[in-house]
Amino acid sequence: MKKVLIDAGHGGKDPGAVANGLKEKDIALAVSLEIKKRLEANYDGVQVLLSRSSDVYLELKERTDLANKAGVDATVSIHCNAGGGSGGFETFRYTKASAASAALQNVLHKEIMDTLNKVAVGMIDRGQKADNLHMVRESKMPAVLTENLFLDVATDAAKLKKNVVIQAIIDGHVNGIAKYLGLKKKEGNQVNNNNRVTVKVNGKKVADGVLDNGTTYTPARAVAEALGATVVYDAVTKTVNITK
């Protein structure tokens, strides 16, 4: 059984970065909860621990102590950024990181950037970096901290308000962790190609839908935006608001 700790940065009295109607602690928690859900639902032989599963404050030492005592195989700390000028995505390992931490960073960074580039135009890759950060320094196992766009950069904040971008961030983390740990997908969780439905708006293909027990599910954002509507997703309340 592989074990991984997902650390949702900040929380409680510490909101992290706050800008453009977004709070870092809320995004980090929503992303972390969904990473755990998808990893455990879709892959065999993995247990996901969370440093926090609600809006509570934890000292940094409490977070790394949890990872170290549990003997997890990897730690991934989820954050958003601020103060970066043009914005973008970046990852951090410890300045004296092991080869294993570097390997985790390589695969995680690539998977997240790949998924983001599929759904958003102009995504900036700020690169793989090393720094003397507590979460990656004090973790006794391979550890990486991800900085998922800048809340105080208007273009990044607009992206983070889109469900498709949040989902890409989640999927990128899931794919990267699964690949690093060598996890295998559970049988029966792959989408049956026979159930895929082509969705077109005014004759133009926008995305695939899924046929499930006689009900067709279509991608709300792709359809709405093709019709000129605006879609805003609240990652905390999991609410989609579509306006024309």
Q: Tell me the pLDDT band of 17, cut-offs 50, 70 and 90.
A: very high
Q: What is the pLDDT of residue 198?
A: 81
Q: Tell me the pLDDT band of 191, cut-offs 50, 70 and 90.
A: very low
Distance between CA atoms of residues 179 and 2, nearest Å: 12
CATH 3.40.630.40 intervals, the chain: 2-181
Of 40, 111, 147, 225, the catalytic one is: 147
155-178: pLDDT as tens digits: 999 999 999 999 999 999 999 999
| Residue 147 appears among annotated catalytic residues | yes
34-82: pLDDT as tens digits: 999 999 999 999 999 999 999 999 999 999 999 999 999 999 999 999 9
State the average pLDDT over residues 93-108: 98
At the topology level, CATH places domain 2-181 in Aminopeptidase (3.40.630)
102-138: pLDDT as tens digits: 999 999 999 999 999 999 999 999 999 999 999 999 9
